Structure 1
Amino acid sequence: MTNRADPPPWPTLQAPSLDDMTELAEAAFAALPEAFRRLCEGVVIQVAEFPTEDTLDEMEIDSEFDLLGLFQGFGLAQDGAVAPTGRLPNMIWLYRRPILDYWAGHEETLGGIVTHVLVHEIGHHVGLSDEDIAEIERAAEP
């Protein structure tokens, strides 16, 4: 039961900022199994508000809310661990607004959603199956 002297917390709550989402992504990454994290050496994880128009066009996605995350680059399954000189680093993008929109419509924690998207995108880098990705997510749960 809430004490009438204690105001409810929601009047002061705000949606997580880009910095907050970056911290959440870093915490989610740190909670992944060490062997999985080692496969991500050199991968840069970034949080942006939305995917770019070019990304949406390239992927033939109509709504900027339909893409929660993206792996860009050449994954281990494509060319091995060593990137040729002059190539941009492998990137994992997490898109704050689409993730928050998804969160608002589902009964999952924000941390759980961020972990799911992160593991899914790392899975693209590593070349994992959906079953492998699900197992890694289970291992990362608190």
Structure 2
Amino acid sequence: MAEAAPLCQAAPDAAAIEAMARDTLARMPEPFAAHLAEVVLLVEDYADDETLAALGIEDPIELTGIYHGRPVGEKSAFDSGAMPDRIHLYRLPILWEWIETGVRLDELVHHVVVHEVGHHFGLSDDDMHALEDGAA
């Protein structure tokens, strides 16, 4: 899809990042796809101060995404009233990494989304790599 941006090109907006992320979610294999319908996807410029502080991150450019919620295996029938699970993507850190690495933007967004989906399922890093390959 998108290559490293020339200096004169406008940076992709939140809607463009969200479209790439939704494309990744649409390509998730079963049984993962069935559990993702209720997950809320949010694209913001940066993580808020509370999130950064909770993770011990001082520079907001270091956080490209985060999963908020309980992993599927830890859910219970007694979870009623809880906030919905959410995947937050942070547009400016993603764009910064895109510029720094030269990785195609759609591939970078795909990687971040799969990583956060992996947290939703409580997967290990190795399992996340396998899921990323399966959702390509």
Match of 1:111?
Answer: 106
What is the deviation of 1:45? 1.0
| Higher Rg | 1
What is the deviation of 1:65? 0.4
What is the deviation of 1:112? 0.9
TM-score, normalising length: structure 2: 0.88
Q: % of aligned pairs identical?
A: 33
1:44 aligns with 2:40: yes
**Which one of 109, 133, 136 corresponds to residue 138 of structure 1?**
133
Q: Report the aligned-residue RMSD.
A: 1.9
Q: What secondary structure sits across from 1:98 in the alignment?
A: helix
1:46 counterpart letter in structure 2:
L
Once residues 6 and 103 of structure 2 are traced to their aligned partners in structure 1, the CA distance between those partners, rounded to angstroms, is 18
What is the deviation of 1:83? 6.6
Q: Which has the higher contact order (CA 8 A, sep 6+)?
A: 2
Structure 1: gaps of 5 or more residues: 1-8
1:25 aligns with 2:21: yes
Structure 2: gaps of 5 or more residues: none
Identify the range of structure 1 (29-38 vs 111-120) with the bigger mean alpha-carbon deviation: 29-38
Distance 1:83 1:96, change over 3 A: farther
**Which one of 4, 10, 15 corresponds to residue 11 of structure 2?**
15
Once residues 28 and 138 of structure 1 are traced to their aligned partners in structure 2, the CA distance between those partners, rounded to angstroms, is 11
TM-score, normalising length: structure 1: 0.84
